[in-house]
């Protein structure tokens, strides 16, 4: 498992669930259309990586409502940022399992709707700690 795989996966079962919600690695032997037709009930945007081998990712897409949006960025941080911003561009609510993560990014990193967005206690605490250090 690569370091980036470990970052996506996390250390707990909730991390594994979050990874499945955020990111799907896809063998290019199957067509993208076949993948999109087999996706059931996933109205949340997620990253789809096409790969020719387990170690070789060739392209990233943001998938929303069974539509492929090619990622413009070439870095994992940029691709995740595109995924995050797709929630705003398409007015999609955050997935419950990732709500705290996305709320943290929204209020702390992007400084969007601070004070009007409902934050979990853990997000409030982390944001307060980060702001105190600045």
Domain boundary assignment for the chain: 1-74
Average pLDDT over all residues of the chain: 78
CA distance 81 to 133: 24
Residue 31 — pLDDT band, cuts 50, 70, 90?
Answer: confident
For residue 97, CA distances in Å to 47, 90, 120, 122 come to 16, 19, 12, 14
CA distance 120 to 50: 34
pLDDT at position 8 over 90: no
Q: Is 27 exposed, middle or buried (0-12, 13-18, 19+ CB in 10 A)?
A: exposed
Q: Which of 78, 123, 65, 115 has its CA nearest to residue 99?
A: 123
């Amino acid at each position: 498992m690569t370091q980036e795989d470990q970052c996506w996966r996390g250390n707990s079962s909730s991390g594994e669930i979050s990874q499945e919600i955020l990111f799907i690695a896809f063998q290019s032997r199957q067509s993208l259309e076949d993948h999109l037709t087999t996706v059931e009930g996933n109205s949340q945007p997620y990253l789809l990586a096409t790969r020719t081998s387990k170690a070789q990712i060739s392209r990233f897409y943001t998938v929303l409502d069974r539509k492929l949006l090619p990622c413009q960025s070439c870095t994992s941080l940029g691709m995740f940022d595109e995924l995050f911003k797709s929630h705003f561009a398409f007015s999609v609510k955050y997935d419950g399992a990732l709500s705290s993560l996305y709320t943290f990014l929204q209020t702390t990193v992007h400084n969007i709707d601070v004070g009007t967005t409902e934050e979990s206690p853990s997000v409030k605490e982390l944001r307060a700690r980060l702001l105190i250090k600045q």
